[in-house]
Amino acid sequence: MAISSSHANPRLPGESSERPGMQQYLVMLREEKPLGKRPKRGDVVDQNLDLTRRFQRNLRKSLEEHGLWSQVAHMGEPMAFPLVTLSCTPEVADFVAKLPDVEEVVQDSEGLQTACPPP
């Protein structure tokens, strides 16, 4: 998924945003059906990458349709876990929490120390 440069600043969870009113959230997605009894690790990774990519595409479209995309400072890269990191306003987080593909939206811990502090 191509994200405009204003939304693609690499940040770690807990790292403050340069835009006021933004907070860090972790979006936990509903997992898809299991791949079988003992799926290969690569198959699980591929399934979760597909899941997060689809979710991000659909989320951006939905936020744009509802006029909320401007309230997103950053959306994390797709990952091998059914999770998406999001730096946004609380209004967007509430909107995301109501989506059917979302299990839960959790606000990141305030004051969390990042691995790479700013210079």
CATH code of the domain containing 75: 3.30.70.1510
Does residue 113 belong to any structural domain of this protein?
no
The length of the chain is 119
Does residue 17 belong to any structural domain of this protein?
no
User: Between 114 and 44, where is the model more confident?
Assistant: 44
Structural domain total, the chain: 1
Q: What is the mean pLDDT of the chain?
A: 79
Strands (E), 1-119: 23-29, 72-75, 83-88, 102-107
Does residue 14 belong to any structural domain of this protein?
no
> Whole-model pTM?
0.72
pLDDT value for 95: 97
Instruction: Single out the residue of 72, 25, 31, 73 nearest to residue 52, CA to CA.
Output: 31
Note down the domain range covering 79.
22-107
